[in-house]
Amino acid sequence: MDKRSKVIASVKQTFADRFRVFDNTGENKKVVAGQFPDVIMMRPEPPPNSDILFVMKIETGENLLNSVAEWKELGSSPSVLYIIAPAEKLDDVKRLASATNVRARFASYEISNNEAVVNYE
């Protein structure tokens, strides 16, 4: 299981009781603001409720500059964007988001014992 999959598993475990959490990295991806976020969180009411409350973009810490355009688009949607980055890269992500006027919230993750631990701000 790669880093992104481990973080998605952690997000699902944390929020499954409060939201409908979708792993948007496989087939049949949902588009939000013209982009494909890694995780989509919706109201818990059963479908067809399509209120997207949160979208999450999980970064591995590589090629952050290439992610800015996607962050900008997702941050301009009515949903709240969370950028989840490795703990050691979180300050870099925050500076880059601030410098490019990206509207987002942040979380960091660390991989320990083959599981991701996500800390939300």
Q: Where are the domains of the chain?
A: 3-29+57-120
114-120 mean pLDDT? 94
Model pLDDT, residue 10: 96
5-33 mean pLDDT? 93
Kindly report, residue by residue over 75-112, the tens digit of the pLDDT: 999 999 999 999 999 999 999 999 999 999 999 999 99
Kindly report, residue by residue over 34-72, the tens digit of the pLDDT: 999 999 999 887 766 778 999 999 998 888 888 999 999
Q: Indicate whether this model's pTM tops 0.85.
A: yes
Phi, psi values for residue 40, rounded to 5°: -125, 130
Question: Could you please report the per-residue DSSP string of 59-90?
Answer: --SS-HHHHHHHHHHHHTSSSEEEEEEEGGGH
Q: Which long-range contacts (CB under 8 A, 24 or more apart) does 6-9 make?
A: 6/111, 6/114, 6/115, 6/116, 7/58, 7/84, 7/109, 7/116, 7/118, 8/38, 8/39, 8/58, 9/115, 9/116
Alpha-carbon distance 111 to 51, whole Å?
31
All residues at 6 or more sequence positions from 27 whose CB lies less than 8 Å from its CB, including other chains? none
Phi, psi values for residue 22, rounded to 5°: -115, 130
